[in-house]
Amino acid sequence: MSAANGHAQPTQQVAYANVDDDDDDEDLDLRRLASTRSLDPEQPVPDEPPRPPSRVDEDNAPPPAEEVTPLRLGAHYAVLILAAMLGTLIRLGLDALGAYDGAAIFPLAWAQGVGCGIMGLALARKNQIVWIYPPMYTFFTTGIAGSVTTFSSWMLEGYEAFANFNHYDRGGFHNAVDGIAYSFATFAIAIACLHLGQFMGRCLPRIPRPEALHTVSHRSPFLDSVTFLVASLSYLVALIIYFFAPHPWRHRAVFAILLAPPGAMLRFFLAKINTRAAFIDRFPLGTFIANMVATLVLAGVVAAQHRPAAGSSAVRCDALYALQQGFCGCLSTVSTFAVEARAIRGKRWKWIYVLGSVVLGQVLVLAVLGGVGWGVGYVDVCTGSD
């Protein structure tokens, strides 16, 4: 896939990997999951030709090769604007829905599960989605699923469980048990919902294809131009809502969605590192960097929220909350993390990637948030605009 780094690169021929719809052949699906190059949702246009379809139903044959022009590459980024804003709203809504007294599970579990379910559904229908319009696959995977889920908040809440941030009446042993249980439950929910989403995707009716399967299509500049227009208008509408919507809720929700697209775009850009030969099938470095940077920034933001200066300005407090939920929430992802954990070849590399990500994430939060608490102490977190 071409890189977007301030200038357009020459066009290139790319093709999408095949994902079978045959729900009677789980072994074939698992073999296809063996390569992070073929299923990396952050790279919907891998730079290798598709493998010959062996036992593939004709309705799910891989789409033809696509020439990724600068306009089409820009459309992949443009769809992330609307997708990141919608994903952030879904996450905030699910978090509010799951926050009540006596809840059987932590609120963030809903967002992690729903996002991974969307990812699984999109993976199951990858070829059909790409056949309709390639950037639409980026919209659902990198955009919606990646923005609904958040690795950085997982690390924050996991640290709060380890550190007994809410001052429950328990000892250090049970703090450790709670912290381990939180991370184990999050990862288990992510993997389970990913499988559930794929199962649901296979159960959906197939999309009819009235034209020949092997005809090159989807290169209409008109669709790409419309994508740019819709993305620009959606961000403009959010900006207008921020200034003119009712005061009680606009700063808590709209400010966050304004900062969401940059996080999703940066994650999409970093994901090109995953397809380098040194990291394919071993260690998805691009996703790892995105998750660690988001965790580090989030820890700093939460530490700032607990300092007296944050509460001195409502706008400052709102900005910190927006950075936490918008930028950091969309820069990090659990849905892609779950896909990669399942797709990496070799148990050793799986353990290195999964445990390395979780342990380093916890260490980063401990170093920043814990360091501030031990050094100067905390005050109550600022609440911002009411």
Task: Tell me if 163 sits within 8 A of 175, measured CB to CB.
Answer: yes
Residue 312: per-residue pLDDT: 64
Residue 161: per-residue pLDDT: 93
Q: Which helix (H) or strand (E) holds 326?
A: none
Residue 12: per-residue pLDDT: 40
Q: In this predicted model, what pLDDT tens digit does every residue of 103-114 receive, in sequence order?
A: 889 999 999 999
DSSP string, 104-164: SS-THHHHHHHHHHHHHHHHHTHHHHHHH-HHHHHIIIIIIIHHHS-HHHHHHHHHHHHHT
Find how far residue 373's CA is from the centre of its chain. Answer: 30
Segments in 306-346 forming alpha helices (H): 314-322, 329-331, 335-343
What is d(CA 179, CA 181) in angstroms, rounded to the nearest whole number?
Answer: 5
Q: In this predicted model, what pLDDT tens digit does every residue of 331-386 receive, in sequence order?
A: 999 999 999 999 998 889 999 999 999 999 999 999 998 877 675 566 666 765 65
What are the Cα distances from residue 7, in Å, to 3, 4, 14, 74, 276? 9, 6, 19, 11, 21
What is d(CA 361, CA 355) in angstroms, rounded to the nearest whole number?
Answer: 10
Q: Note the pTM of the prediction, 2 decimals.
A: 0.81
